[in-house]
Amino acid sequence: MLGRVNHIAIAVPDLAAATATYRDMLGARVSQAQALPEHGVTVVFVELPNTKVELLEPLGSASPIAAFLEKNPSGGMHHICYEVEDIIAARDRLKAGGARVLGDGNPKTGAHGKPVLFLHPKDFNGTLVELEQV
């Protein structure tokens, strides 16, 4: 069911500073910042040869990233995103196996313009999992 790792997401308290770190200190190619109001975040993607790193900053006080940063003020790994061919089939298979899909269970449009779902971290060894249809 799982494809490749699409990205690893890191929550950051200061997106501009984190972007500069990856761009200037590590020499990485980074995207322009993109606001995603539906998800409550602003994102930047660090482009790597084999995957991406997504830097997340809260967008608004209701952002789930704001709550994460309250517990982890310096930031940290937030989630890992795996690609799937059919997100509805993957969702249905996971739910049948007892996994919890966050939100209303229906895919939302993610940063890449593709359907995404999030899975409860308690069902995946303490890691928030995002699925993205490719």
User: What CATH number did the domain enclosing 65 receive?
Assistant: 3.10.180.10
Supply the pTM of this predicted model.
0.94
Tens of pLDDT, residues 76-127:
999 999 999 999 999 999 999 999 999 999 999 999 999 999 999 999 999 9
Domain that holds residue 83: 2-133
Tens of pLDDT, residues 35-61:
999 899 999 999 999 999 999 999 988
Q: Would you please indicate which residues are annotated as catalytic (active-site) residues?
A: 130
Please count the CA atoms within 13 angstroms of the CA of 68 that sit on its side-chain side. 21
Tens of pLDDT, residues 60-71:
888 999 999 999
Exposed / middle / buried, residue 67 (Cβ in 10 Å: 0-12, 13-18, 19+): middle
Rounded to an integer, what distance in angstroms lies between the CA atom of residue 71 and that of residue 61?
15
Count of the separate structural domains present in the chain: 1
CB 12, CB 55: distance < 8 Å: yes
Mean pLDDT of 3-18: 98
Return the pLDDT at 98: 97
